[in-house]
Amino acid sequence: MKRQKKVLALAAALIISVANIAALAQQTLDRTKAPPPGPTPVLTVPTWTRTQLSNGATLIVSERHGLPLVNFSITFVGGANQF
Amino acid sequence: MTNKRRVLSALALVLTISLAQPLLAQKKDSAASGSINIPFETYKLPNGLTVILSQDHTTPTVAVDIWYHVGSKNETAGRTGFAHLFEHVMFTGSGHVPYGLHDKLTEGVGGGNNGSTTNDRTNYYETIPSNYLESALWLEADRMGFLLDKLDIAKLNAQRDVVKNERRQSYDNQPYGRVSEIFSAAMYPKGHPYSWPVIGSMTDLSAASEEDVKAFFRLYYAPNNATLAVVGDFDPAQTKAWIQKYFADLPKGQTVQRPSVPLGNLTAGKRLVYEDRVQVPRLYMQWPTVGFKHDDDYALSVLGSILFGPRTARLTKALVYDLQLASQVSAFQNSDEDVGVFQVTVVPRPEHTLTEIEAAVDQVLQKFITEGPTAEELQKAKSGLELGFLRGLESNLGKANQLINGAVFYSDAGQFRTDYQKTLAVTAADVKRVANQYLTRSRIVLSVVPKGKKDQASKATESEAVSVVVEPRRGGK
């Protein structure tokens, strides 16, 4: 008897949760409305180090792993304004 | 960004030297497999949709990419151009998405969208700020499940005209623009799935009925023929819930039959001449090879990279710099899922004939077939291919395409690791072998010459004229 009650209770709980899911699904599956955007994400700028070489050049290093690639770039201050 | 802009405005000219070198180029014995770290997970919905998720939180952006395993090879003769036609129709709204909203929710929020069609697959993608991920999934699900609800003959006709215009712009009215379809038709027997161009023919595009087009969509644009990748800045649990919400109840379609497609095989060489509205003749050669699923594809790609590229590459060095016969050269393995070709193209310098060029190309190739590559040539070629491959994995969309490519063609989203390793493992002997095996086969030599100048073809008297049906001129002169 007791056991049967438990089963009934479980069945009832299951029916309720299934009904909930169905109701939820019906609510959320209104395909006519475009989902609103989430909150504006925060941009986390990668970190870098800045050191001075003995010859005076500035060295900036920013690490990112995942691919065996390195990008290397030198900027010389020497544009039209200097001449 | 602000800081960078200030520096730039202070200097009128900034000299920048940018170099990128793959670290592995020098040491192929290092643990290459561990070097590319792209974590991903993959699963299938009960309706057959394959899902790939790969997180990368470097920037708050995300790529949504869907490939349908359908391309021009799934069309039938007389009804060509459908797969590509859909690439256009898919951006004209669907059941719950009015025309224009797709662009608004992607380009309108600082992102992008596009699609592309090949012989083998069609893809659609969005790159967006990560807080617009849910709307991108909603957009993609809607056109997968409900495109036909809003597709009528007027809409179809409008896109048919757009595609016809694309054909005019990119092929019919483009110097040398018909070369690829001349080759496809010459390389494969009539009715072979790779014998017609992706863009289709004007006649077939005109003949397509609304029902033809809808039936094609129902079969090939179902979840069981699609793979979705989400790559970038997203929360996996939330994203899975959204994918479930928008895609899970789309019905599974019929099982797609994939007939086996024979490789190109010329029983005898062909020598063709095509008169085009061009000023300068060009020489093209194609040999039938293998598709990209065949292991020889790796060595054939290295072969292309040895023959053509920097000024030290074999054909480039000989024809452009040493002999100065040509202004441009190219050579590469062009492979699809089932077939492939190796193609050489040469643009002559004004005082040199295509016959002379063909002989010079053959001489370079013959020497290479006998000797094979030097160790340095091999290393350079592989470094170049490696760099290109790794560069392709830098963006969210690039990663998405690599992962899906594996899932669609190899049933393994991790195929990129195999491709990477097998490219690095190609030996000088492999390259020599494929050069011997494929470049000695019967080939097609195509000369494209200015109108009325068939005598400019390579070995003109032995060349057969190609006639291509050109769209009849409408009105006017």
- Which residue from A34, A41, A68 is facing B138, i.e. has the nearest CB? A34
DSSP assignments along B420-436, one per residue? HHHHHT--HHHHHHHHH
Q: Which positions ≥6 away from B201 have C-beta within 8 Å?
A: B80, B81, B469
| Cα nearest neighbour of B20 on chain A | A71
pLDDT of residue B476: 44
- Does B130 lie at the interface with A, CB-CB under 8 angstroms? yes
- Cβ contact, residue pair A41, B233, below 8 Å: yes
Residue B468 is predicted with a pLDDT of 72
The ipTM (two decimal places) reads 0.77
* End-to-end Cα separation, chain B, in angstroms: 56
- At residue A79, the pLDDT reads 84
Series of mean pLDDT values for 10-residue runs along chain B (477 residues) = 35 32 36 69 98 96 98 92 91 95 97 97 98 98 96 92 94 95 95 95 89 92 98 98 98 93 95 96 98 98 96 97 97 97 97 97 98 97 95 96 98 96 97 98 98 97 85 53
In chain B, which residues have their Cβ closer than 8 Å to the Cβ of A75? Answer: 14-16
Do residue B249 and residue A80 have CB atoms under 8 angstroms apart?
Answer: no
Residue type, B376: E
For residue A34, give the nearest of B22, B105, B391 by CB distance. Answer: B105
Q: How many cross-chain Cβ pairs, A to B, lie less than 8 Å apart?
A: 109
Q: Are the CB atoms for B369 and B431 separated by under 8 Å?
A: no
DSSP state letters, B2-51: HHHHHHHHH-S-EEEEEEEEEGGGS-TTS-GGGT-----EEEE-TTS-EE
Count of alpha carbons within 13 angstroms of residue B79, beta-carbon side: 15
Distance CA B201, CA B199 (A): 7
Give the C-alpha distances (Å, rounded to integers) separating B35 from B30, B39, B378, B384. 9, 12, 21, 17
- Report the amino acid identity of residue A12: A
**Token pair 């289709």 is at which residue?**
B200
Residues of A in contact with B13 (CB under 8 A): 78-80
What pLDDT score does B31 carry? 38
Q: Residue B470 corresponds to which tokens in the numbers above?
A: 């050109």
Per-window interface: B 379-418 vs A, CB < 8 A: 387, 390-391, 393-394
pLDDT of residue B208: 87
pLDDT at residue B473, as a whole number: 56
Residues in chain A closer than 8 A to B249 (CB atoms) = 29
Contact state of A67 with B14 under an 8 Å Cβ cutoff = no
Query: Is B30 near chain A, with CB under 8 Å?
Result: no
User: In the prediction, which pLDDT does A38 show?
Assistant: 97
Distances (CA, A) of B388 to B219, B267, B335: 35, 35, 17
Q: What is the pTM of this model?
A: 0.87
